[in-house]
Structures are given as structure tokens and as C-alpha cells.
Chain A
Amino acid sequence: MAKSTTARGLIFIVRELIGELLYFPVWWYSHGLVLTWRSLFGQWLRLLNRLSLPILLKTMGRPMYGDYTRSGRIISFFFRILLVVSKSLVLGFWTAVLIVVMIVWIIGPIISFALLARQLIPIQF
């Protein structure tokens, strides 16, 4: 039993320490990447929905607040343009943030590892 315990203990340590460490980059760039992409894309869709940009674009030609008068239509058109531009800016900003997060996910481990290696290994550039 003691031998078996030692063997099992070793297997556990190998699996937990070495196996897990080796699997970390594999997971990060496969399953983890997909999960992160789905999460970020989901957030982007929710943002799009919240800003109602597709609806605004679809109703571009329709007057606002049911005001079908000539002046109402003109005011609506320009106000809609203003809305679309402002909301596009918000969407653009958050899209950029989400893209940065995605990029950080992709290059984060590589950069960190490279810079750690640079710290540990004396290489002259």
C-alpha cells in the first residue's frame, strides 16, 4: 500500500504541477480563447442592443415621436444623425476596449514570458 501511495502521490504531483503547467498554454490558446471571444462578442452584442443602433438606422427616415409635420421630419432627420454619430462613437470606444482585451489575451502570456526570459537570461540587444 505504501508503495502504491508513493506512486499515486508522484502521479498526482506530476499531473498537478507539470501536467497542469504544460496544459496551461494549450488551454489558453484553444478553449480559453474561444471562451474569451464568446464572452467579449456577447458583451459587444449587448452593447449594440443597448445603444439600439440597428433600430436607429432602420428608422432613419421616420420622424421622431410621431411628429409627421414637415418641420418635425427635418428636425428628426438631423437629430437622428446626431444620435447615430454619438452612439457610434460610444460603440467605437467600447469596441476598441474589447479588442484590446482580446489582444491582451492573445499576446499577454507571450509578452510576459518573453520579458521574464529577458530578465532571467542575460541577452544583449
Chain B
Amino acid sequence: MTDMTTKISDSAIRRQMLKEFWFYFSQNRGAVIGLVFFVLLVLTAIFAPLLAPHDPSQQYRDAFLLPPAWEENGRAAFLLGTDAVGRDVLSRLIYGSQYSLFIGIVVVSIALFGGILIGLVAGFFGGWVDTVIMRVMDVILAFPSLLLALVLVAILGPGLTNAMIAIAIVYQPHFARLTRAAVMGEKEREYVSAARVAGAGNLRLMFKTILPNCLAPLIVQATLSFSSAVLDSAALGFLGMGAQPPTPEWGTMLAEAREFIQSAWWVVTFPGLAILLTVLAINLMGDGLRDALDPKLKRS
């Protein structure tokens, strides 16, 4: 028996786990489509300067509100048309992908980091520490998220950075709650007691022993929050409280396009479509991740 256990190295176990994960993930066709779209989006964001036919802020004075190339009066140089000040919509959309991904990554990182820290402390120590922390989380959750984010932006001042901070603060309780619940489930397990008896300190127990076993629900929540962050930051941009013009952020583009909804459908349609497809792709991935990571669903 000892022979068997020594033979399987850590990396082999990890490879096996990854293989199993990919097996379940790839069973879900939607998840794979979402992943492919997301990878394409990341590539678009990275190679935006190479892909975009025009500079996103270049104003062509002879091309105000040109329709897409396939419409009458459209020009091949502006595939998806131009906006009210003669900027190429496609190029702005391509550069906009950078903002959406950046927002998602920053918001989820802040919320994840804060939430894990708070949730670990609450779940690990319990007692009054837990009570106080969780009541504070309840208070944050009592506010409709977009409203609280708006008010936070009113305090911090409009802008992309502040919008991201506000959204991260609003999302953070979800991670704290999840971490706490997972920690409370894990901390009485034997492997934790074993580590404790072996002399592990609180910090080691929290971060090295317990946390890695609580990651599955957090990964799923992080994916869902990523898509919500893209949506909410676009909403803040749309309301004039997020990224400010002339930033080619998709929500801000929509806000600028609002007055042309009757006359120039393309300036309204494409930015929204970009938001929808991005959020949809991430949500599809999230569903796949949940199926692959949740052992309860695996068996059914």
C-alpha cells in the first residue's frame, strides 16, 4: 500500500484532477462555447491595437453617423458605422473589450480578496467576531447593489476607478458569506484537527489547510461576479457615473448613443450586443464550472 501512495506524485494528482475537471466541463456544450468566446475576447483585448482598423478616439469629420458597411451610404472603411462625432464604432468596441475585462478582473480580485479574508476570520474564529462581521455583511446586502454602488460613486466621485471600487465593495459580502459557510463546514474535519495537533498555527490552518478546500464555490461565485461586474459597470457608465466619455467603455458608448435611438440604430445596437455576448459567455462558463466542480451535481 505504501508503494502505491508514494508512487503518485503531487503533480500527477493535480493532472488527474484537471483531467477530470475538463471531462465534466467539456460535457457542457454551452460552457465550451462560452470559454471559446471568452478566449477570443481576451485575445481581442490584448491585440486591440493590431485588430482595430482605426484609432478609437479619431474623429473623421466627413463621416458622422455613417451606417454599417452593408447598409446604403455605408463605407467599407467603417464596418459597423461611425458615431455622432465620426469615430469608428468597431474600433471603439474592440478597445472597449479591454475595459470590460479589466473591470471584471479588478472587481473580482478586490471582492475575492476582501471576502475571503473576512469570511475566513468569521468562519474560523466564530463567536462574537463572526456575529459582528456577518451583521455588517447583512447591512451591505440590505441595499440594492446598483443603488449602493451609485451612492458610493457619489461619495467617491464619478469615474472608472471609483466605479470599480464601489462595485467591489458591494460584491464583497457574497464572497465573505460563501467563505464563512465553507470554512465552518471544513474546520471540524479530521484533517484540520490533525494539522492542529501537528502544531500548525492559526494562519497556517486558515490559509494553507482550510482555504484550498473551500475554493470550489468561490470559483463559481467569482465567475458569476465577473459577469455581474461587467453588467453593473456598464450600467454605471450608462448612467454617467462610471467611465467618462470619451472612454470607449461599452456602457458609456450606449449613454452617448441614447439620443440617436430613433435615427442611428447601429450606435445603440452594437455596444449593447457586445455587453450581452460577453456576459452570456461568462455565465455559460460559470454554469459549466459549477457542474464540473460541484460533486453533488456530478453524480446526477
A and B physically associate = no
